[in-house]
Amino acid sequence: MTHHRVLLCVSALAFALSGCASLTSDEEVVTATRASLPPLPAQWQVDGALPGDIRIGWIDTLGDPALSAFVREAQIANRDIQATAANVEAAYALVRQARSELFPAIDLSVTGGQSQVFDEPGVGDPPSEAFFTPDYDVSLQASWEADLWGRVRAGRNAAYASAQAIEADFRFAQYSLAASVASAYFAVIEAERQIDVAERNYAAYAEIDRITRFRAREGYSNQQDVRTAASDLADVLEGLEDVRGARRIAIRALEVLLGRYPGAEIEGGFDFPVPPPPPPAGLPSELLERRPDVIAAERNVAAAFSDLDQAKAARLPVLSLTGSVGGTSSELEDLTDGRNLFWSIIGNVLQPIFDAGLRGARVDEADADKRAAIATYASTALAALQDVEDNLDQVEVVRLREEAARTARDEAVEAVKLGELRYKEGETDLIDLLSLRQRQLSTEQNFVSIQRERIDQWVSLNLALGGSWIEPSQQAEP
């Protein structure tokens, strides 16, 4: 009974000590990450940033049912998203594995067999005969390591923080995929618009070619003009074929994002949605608590702190308890007979003494990993803040560029109209007309590209701000 009391006291002491183990708190992680950053301004530094809550469901805000359907399809079928979702499941499985070490491991062992026994004959008795006796053993074995210094809990905390980081990466991958699908969709639209521009210009150049040949037959133009018009017509045709090929490439890129075979089979007929006004930008400090990639970096810092806790605790004594209870008998019904039962309880204390610096090196490694994680967090956070400032800055820049491009296109169209009229009247030569036509083509192509750039920039701003592309109630789970 004295031994039982000792074991009971040791177990109680182990529970008490495990509750006193000091592990890194979330407050310490927040303090370390915030200290790694320069002072943050109270507001965004770009003029025109709107206050207010971040927009949720920004893809649907564009009011384009085709785009919304494409984005939802990609969230289900995109292979990269599927792989990332599987990584989240695997990470939380590791959390459960780490957590299991906090509890006793219990195993049941059941064995059965038989032994051959020879009956020893006496003097004058007939030869001995062999017979078999059954043997049955059943035992219940338990083992448990008392987490005196928090080593096991630190491992669990590290696994949990890593899983949270992977889950945050999954969320950001979802947001990024939504933006990528939108960009690919806009690329398809741009290609279709460029095809329309090229086809209209081809028709115009064909008309110039026809007029030039007619004027040559009438003696008003020479063969140089005929050759020049024919050359420019062929050049416009080459450009037309190029943008037709670009459209097929853009469709294939969209199809791969959707998880489809890249067969360039998506039907066209789309048009750019009208960019909504810039969304509210919130505050710089709020971005660090909302944007998933920054959250993932912060959770990686928490995991690094826990890894360091675990490495430090590994240098301290380890107390483990093992016990077993069971029975052995030649008859199954006698296994529970008190005379056939056995039990044992063993306590073990392991104190590392010499390991040639192994555990100390692991502590140094974990400490270096912690400092690296903090630096990575600071880099990620600063990049996210720059992303927002850049996109806020581009809101007005791209809008003004679009206005200027529209004016340039409209003026070029009017100049061509006047040039064609003067050419028909013989008041200008072919070279001047073709130069005007080329300028018009360039301005029309540029205007289409800037239209796409403006809607792309609106999507990029929403992504930078870290708002979800979909309402939370509709968010896909990993």
pLDDT tens column, 88-141: 999 999 898 888 888 888 888 777 666 665 556 555 555 555 556 677 677 778
- What are the tens digits of pLDDT across the range 414-443? 998 999 888 888 788 878 888 888 898 899
The half-sphere exposure of 355 on its side-chain side, counting CA atoms within 13 A, is: 12
Three-state DSSP class for 267? coil
Spatial contact of 423 and 240, defined as CB atoms under 8 Å apart: no
How much is the pLDDT for 18?
47
Q: 3-class SS at 272? A: coil
Give which of 41, 57, 43 is closest to 279, Cα–Cα: 57
Q: Which two tokens stand for residue 369?
A: 């990993």
Distance CA 234, CA 229 (A): 9
Q: Are 333 and 171 in contact (CB under 8 A)?
A: no
How much is the pLDDT for 151?
87
Look at residues 375, 363, 365, 361 and name the one whose alpha carbon lies nearest to residue 300: 375
Could you say which residues of the chain have pLDDT below 70? Answer: 1-21, 112-133, 136, 326-341, 472-478
pLDDT at 192: 94
Measured distance CA(383)–CA(264) in Å, rounded: 36
pTM value? 0.83
| H or E, element range at 348 | strand 341-350
User: 137 — alpha (psi -120 to 50), left (phi > 0) or beta?
Assistant: beta
Closest Cα to residue 314, out of 366, 374, 368, 372? Answer: 366
Count of H-run helices and E-run strands, the chain: 11, 4
| Secondary structure letter of residue 271 according to DSSP | -
How high is the pLDDT of residue 213? 87
Burial of 374: CB neighbours in 10 Å, binned 0-12, 13-18, 19+: buried
- The CA-CA-CA angle for residues 385, 387, 391, to 5°, reads 120
Rounded distance between C-alpha atoms, residue 210 and residue 226, angstroms: 9
Name the residue among 312, 299, 316 with its Cα closest to residue 364.
Answer: 312
Collapse the DSSP code of 145 into the 3-class scheme (helix H, G, I; strand E, B; otherwise coil) and give the result: strand
Residue 399 CB burial class (10 angstroms; 0-12, 13-18, ≥19): middle
pLDDT at residue 82 in the model: 93
- Lookup: tokens for 173: 């991958």
